[in-house]
Structure 1
Amino acid sequence: MDRRHFLRNSALGSVAAAGLAAPAIAQQAPKLRWRMTSSYPKSLDTIHQGAVTLAEYVRGMTDGAFDIQVFAPGEIVGGLQAADAVAEGTVEAAHTSSYYYWGKDPVWALPTAIPFGLNPRQQNAWFYYGGGNDMMNEFYAKQNLYGLPLGNTGAQMGGWYRKEIATPEDLRGLKMRIGGFAGKIMEKLGVVPQNIPGGDIYASLEKGAIDAVEWVGPYDDEKLGFVKVAPYYYYPGWWEGGATLHAMFNLEAWNALPPAYQTALKVGCQAVTCDMMANYDWKNPDALLRLVAAGAQLRPMSEAIMDAGFQASQEVYAEIGAGNETFRKIFDTIAAFRGNSFQYQQIADYTYDTFMMIQKQKGNI
């Protein structure tokens, strides 16, 4: 059974169980056509595909009555203008990263990823059971938006560098493409952050306009060709332990939707989040092997750099929280859950994962 068939039958099955035949639903459903602008180029078939898959799911769950057309960056607006276009009503929806807009208010960074924040499973737990969705939508409503998580990349890599970096001193003066709020932390370490959309990164790196770049992970990084111009590949990306992408909907357009269509979007977004994570987990291992074969020099971030980054992040969180009540309120819920969750995960997941990794090193698996 394919994904669209399963989701369509699951959504409509609950309605049929309530005593309404599927044909009646189809007759009552208004035909709608929405436009969704993406912040991610079509060449990135993992991230960009998330919006396309959502559109497929929604069409399937509504018998084609609710049709969402997906547009790549530049076809309607630029990648970093996606949320603004939705808020203004230029388009009804966007697939983007909330932290791209943190310059307006640091609160925008919290639902995507913050340095030394949550991993993917923790992100989902916080969104769906820790009140994260509700808190963020209180904030988004003030921007004329309604948001839902739409995909997760997993823990990201630490980026590509023209030269090796071993100490915090090696970061000073480094011009680095680094997205969102993480740039503020790196700036505290002496990095000169550059917020460049995905489609423009390679040219900037090739021309020497930047010295380093972080993007996502092996599969997407391979597609963008960074190994050709910056061979040192560092891990982990401690600023994005589990980056969540978002669907942003114009608030008036969202509120005007029939409840069944809102449900279709909610179900579709959750399904895409699961699908994208599985997609990355399947593709990244082989992509990393190919990158190493192509000349990538894998390097771990030194403990000194990670310690400096952790200390800088704590200072920034305290500084922002002192003057931004919304940021402090939401961050405090993330921080409290982070502590409890890692305490548990070191008992269960970490112990199991570590044992299996040792078996791999021994050649047993």
Structure 2
Amino acid sequence: MKRREFLKKAGVGATAAVAATAGTVVNAPFVHASQKSTIRWRLQTYAGPALAEHVIKPQIEAFNKAANNEMVIELYNADQLIPTGELFRAMQRGTIDAVQSDDDSIAAPVDVSIFAAYFPFASRYSLDVPTLFNHYGLKEIWEEAYSEVDGVKWLSAGSWDPCNFATREPIRSVKDLKGKRVFTFPTGGRFLKRFGVVPVTLPWEDVEVALQTGELDGIAWSGITEDYTVGWADVTKYYLTNNISGAWAGSYFANSDKWEALPEHLKTLFKLSMDSSHYYRLHWYWWGEAYYRTHGGKLELTTIPEEEWSIVENEAMKYWDELAAKSPRSAKIVKILKEYTETMKKAGKPYRY
């Protein structure tokens, strides 16, 4: 459904409701007093259609089936109803009921938002994200941060794929990053500017054409699984195996009033469906990142030597300290990330090499 059609239909529905209450309804069918109408939500994801087939559509279809017509969630893809950068405000107003995205991209007005999506080198593997949230205290920190904002309920975080470069020209050295116009996430983009990268913001559906026309030199938005799934492997030539993050940290959000109005069994059902989605993504991306490197056939793999890539990793630690100074809560998160990283290093293989 186009955004204009959505708004038009919403207006027509409101007009019809007013007219019905103002006039006399003739031959209205009898409705039993105990019959409840179906709860309907509109949920918009950060993902385009091809990617949504994996990262959220199975979850929503399963939820709708299990809800047995008590509740139906209508799923919309990236920018289909609301521009991604306006989703937080739209949830607050109730224009959209729920969102799947990262805090950074939807411009969440909380200090934790800068640590979402691809916070540089915060994770090495996909399991790092749920471990940090469920066993190192990030879940409680996120709940605290969103309790200070009206209108939006943070529900759950999960991990996606790593952040690698797919480009039109090869990257074999850190200096090759200089001047590259790259589609990426806000916080990741601010970090990459230190190496001469030019972050570019575009609607998700325009990225493929921008790569074809040369408006973009590459993307640092995903791992190789998404490059093949959404068609970006067809318009780029090279894939850099070094990544700036081992897993994207994304979340589910809902309008607070709509969430609180749900009966407890539907809240539980939605939480279970989120967990199912988190689990599916863990193994789908883990499979895809290895499979497409070895069987993809479209992208040539390049690698920056570890001794040179350590320059980028060391700069990330400076970036962490700068952001820690922004608020006590930011400092707490950075402290957790440092402790976690040190624990993983001490644990050795397979946690860290």
- TM-score tier (shorter): 0.7 to 0.9
Instruction: After TM superposition, give the deviation of residue 280 of structure 1 in Å.
Output: 2.3
The answer to whether the aligner puts 1:297 opposite 2:304 as a matched pair is no
Match of 1:314 in 2: 317
Deviation at 1:204, TM superposition (A): 1.4
1:328/1:196 Cα in 2 relative to 1: closer, same or farther (>3 Å)?
A: farther
Task: Describe the shift of the 1:127–1:182 C-alpha distance in structure 2 as closer, same or farther (beyond 3 A).
Answer: same
CA distance in 1, matches of 2:341, 2:237: 33
CA 1:244–1:103: 2 relative to 1, 3 Å: closer
- Tell me the CA shift for residue 116 of structure 1: 0.9
8 Å contact from structure 2 (residues 171, 177) kept in 1? yes
The one of 120, 126, 136 aligned to 1:130: 136
Q: What do residues 170-227 of structure 1 show as CA deviations (whole Å, max 9, x unaligned)?
A: 2222211121311111011221112334322111111111212123222320234334
Q: Which residue of 1 aligns with 2:251?
A: 246
Alignment match of 2:331 (pick from 313, 322, 328): 328
Matched to 1:139, the amino acid is A
1:275-294 Cα deviation digits (max 9, x unpaired): 12222233444433453x23
Q: Give the one of 122, 132, 141 matched to 2:147.
A: 141
Q: Which residue in 1 is equivalent to 2:99? A: 94
Q: Does 1:165 align with 2:181?
A: no
What is the one-letter code of the residue matched to 1:251?
A: S
The runs of 5 or more residues in structure 2 that have no matched partner are 1-33
Identity of aligned residues (%): 18
Q: In structure 2, which of residues 274, 280, 288 is the aligned counterpart of residue 275 of structure 1?
A: 280
SS at match of 1:98: coil
CA distance in 2, matches of 1:135, 1:159: 31
Partner of 1:226: 232
Q: Which residue of 2 aligns with 1:68?
A: 73
Shift of 1:38: 1.5
Whether 1:182 and 2:188 are equivalent positions in the alignment is: yes
Per-residue deviation, residues 336-356 of structure 1 (Å, max 9, x unmatched): 223213422x245568xxxxx
Deviation at 1:40, TM superposition (A): 0.9
Q: 1:259 maps to what in 2?
A: 264
1:101 Cα deviation after fit: 4.1
CA distance in 1, matches of 2:223, 2:81: 27
Residues 103 and 138 (structure 1), Cα distance of their counterparts in 2 relative to 1, 3 Å cut: closer
Counterparts of 1:79-118 in structure 2 under 5 Å? 79-101=84-106, 107-118=112-123
Contact kept, 8 Å, 1:102 with 1:181, in 2: the verdict is no
CA RMSD of aligned residues (A): 2.6
Query: Aligned in 2, Cα 1:59/1:225: closer, same or farther, shift over 3 Å?
Result: closer
Amino acid at match of 2:42: R
Corresponding residue number in structure 2 for 1:78:
83
- Alignment partner, residue 59 of structure 1: 64
- Which residue of structure 1 lines up, in the alignment, with residue 204 of structure 2? 198
Task: State yes or no: 1:37 paired with 2:44.
Answer: yes
**Residues 172, 105 of structure 1: CA spacing in aligned structure 2 closer, same or farther, 3 A cutoff?**
farther
182-191 or 172-181: which moved more?
A: 172-181
Give yes or no for contact 1:109–1:181 (8 Å, CA) kept in 2: yes
Instruction: Kindly provide the amino acid, as one letter, of the partner of residue 344 in structure 2.
Output: S
- Cα distance change on mapping 1:227 and 1:263 into 2, 3 Å: closer
Q: Specify whether residues 30 and 125 from structure 1 end up closer, same or farther in structure 2 by C-alpha distance, changes over 3 A only.
A: farther
- 8 Å contact from structure 1 (residues 82, 96) kept in 2: no
**CA 29–273 in structure 1, closer or farther in 2 if over 3 Å, else same:** farther
Q: Rg: which structure is higher?
A: 2
> In the aligned structure 1, how far is the partner of 2:168 from the partner of 2:152?
40
C-alpha separation in 1, matches of 2:185 and 2:319: 16
1:94, CA displacement in angstroms?
A: 0.8
Shift of residue 258, structure 1, vs aligned partner: 1.9
User: Unaligned regions of 5+ residues in structure 1, if any?
Assistant: 1-26, 352-365
**Whole-Å Cα distance in 1 between the matches of residues 279 and 181 of structure 2?**
34
Number of aligned residue pairs: give it: 318
| C-alpha deviation, 1:102, in angstroms | 5.8
Query: Is contact 1:167-1:304 (8 Å) kept?
Result: no
Cα distance change on mapping 1:331 and 1:255 into 2, 3 Å = farther
Give distance in 1, aligned partners of 2:219 and 2:350. 34
- Measured after TM superposition, the shift of residue 115 of structure 1 is 0.9
Q: Secondary structure at the match of 2:239?
A: strand
In the alignment, is the contact (CA less than 8 A) between 1:92 and 1:253 conserved in 2? yes
Whole-Å Cα distance in 1 between the matches of residues 60 and 108 of structure 2?
Answer: 30
SS in 2 for 1:108: helix
Q: 1:131 to 1:259 in 2, by over 3 A?
A: farther
In 2, distance between residues paired with 1:102 and 1:79? 9
